[in-house]
Amino acid sequence: MRPLALFSTDLDVMAVTASVPNRPVVRVPVVEFGAPDASAPMRLSVLGATGSIGKSTLDLVGRAPDRFEIVALTAQSNARELAVLARRHRARLAVIGDDAQLAELRDGLAGTGIRAAAGLEALIEAALMPADCVMAAIVGAAGLRPTFAAASCGARIALANKECLVSAGHVFTAEIARSGAELLPVDSEHSAAFQALSGADPKAIEKIVLTASGGPFRTWAREALEAATPEQALKHPNWSMGAKVTIDSATLMNKGLELIEAFHLFPVPAEALDCVIHPQSIVHCLVSYVDGSVLAQMASPDMRTPIAVALAWPKRMAAPTEKLDLARLGSLTFEAPDEVRFPALGVARAALRRGDTAPAVLNAANEVAVKAFLDRRLKFLDIAALVEATIEEAERQGAICQAHGLDDILHIDGLARRLAVEKLNGY
């Protein structure tokens, strides 16, 4: 089943094409949403405001304050920084996920009139507040319920949470289609594909190729990777990201997760999705068409570019990113990924082919494995091995099955984490 296509043959609309049984095609005109240069400011909520994506979003907002009205900001555990951001951007609501930090948040907002709240229900409340756009940037499975809540409102979802598509792809895109929400990807590669595909006839698409930098270990021999440390893995050559995403980049798991996301975002079969190593991180995606044309989206490696696309589409807004100087760059290089040295990519491809809840198990097990690596309980090359072993055990226990709703996904996510922890004890 393919529930969603992020573009249409009509240039003036964003199509959300549902193939869910008994559900018609939904078309959402983008002009219905508050673009940043409209007469009224865009009402914006940022879920995950203190993370890398959240801070980059608010950097753009701070450079164009008249174009945005901040409705709600959330964070999981950094009450002090959340209070600073809420004050700076005059948010109406600030929510901290950790209940124990509510008092600190209230102290930080004293005298401002900004309401403070804490806990999962408050995060969901923030997601449900009327807004033109919700930046869904909560990392991990913790972002599932709030992002689903935001999607139910029918506004624009600027999606930076991978789990909604990796773990709950069919369920999430069905909710997008049901509510009539508008979904725009924030990952640089998916944003690039979206831009290169705009207005295309799906039948004309031959292949979508996502690019990967190769991470800090691109040239390392497998023997050296056996002893790779968290400090080395966290030194990404091009991007500034959170620890989890940076480790995923080092293992190439991030590219596998992005292939799964692309499967749910774009109307092509899994075999039409691929990736290539591109160390310079200038080309973010290449789209091949049946006539031999290849369209590539290029930009400096700065997440403010895809964030600006998601906030302003179908128009453009200024972003303070480094402008490309191709003459100075001199050359752009590409190479095939090595799935022997970086087996996580192959594990993710297999989960995509298996379907059902295999990607949800993959994602949950990977979160456990990455944390164990950062805690020095697991070797770098054992990350992929632990994930693969967890998927195999989940299959044996009948946990690779069809999911019918978010509760099913969350149940499988919890089971997969328990299985991964049990497997971890054997390493």
Question: Is the pLDDT assigned to residue 287 strictly greater than 60?
Answer: yes
Bridge-based pairing of strands 42-47 and 68-75 is parallel
165 and 140 in contact (C-beta within 8 Å)?
no
How would residue 425 be classed by pLDDT, with cut points 50, 70 and 90? confident
For the 344-424 domain, the top CATH level (class) is mainly alpha
CATH superfamily of the 14-190 domain: NAD(P)-binding Rossmann-like Domain (3.40.50.720)
% of the chain surpassing 90 pLDDT: 86
How would residue 383 be classed by pLDDT, with cut points 50, 70 and 90? very high
pTM: 0.89
Mean predicted confidence (pLDDT) in 308-327: 95
**Identical topology for domains 14-190 and 344-424:** no
Domain ranges (residues) in the chain: 14-190, 200-300+319-329, 344-424
Model confidence pLDDT, tens digit, residues 112-137: 999 999 999 999 999 999 999 999 99
**Complete edge-to-edge strand list for the sheet that includes strand 273-277:** 273-277, 205-212, 283-289, 294-298
Residue 239 is predicted with a pLDDT of 66
Mean predicted confidence (pLDDT) in 86-101: 98
How would residue 166 be classed by pLDDT, with cut points 50, 70 and 90? very high
Bridge-based pairing of strands 273-277 and 294-298 is unpaired
How high does pLDDT run on average in the chain?
90
- CA–CA distance, 337 with 37 (Å, rounded to integer): 41
User: Burial of 374 by CB count in 10 Å (0-12 exposed, 13-18 middle, 19+ buried)?
Assistant: middle
Question: Is the pLDDT assigned to residue 18 strictly greater than 90?
Answer: no
Question: Is the pLDDT assigned to residue 271 strictly greater than 90?
Answer: yes
Cis peptide before 130 (omega within 30 of 0): no
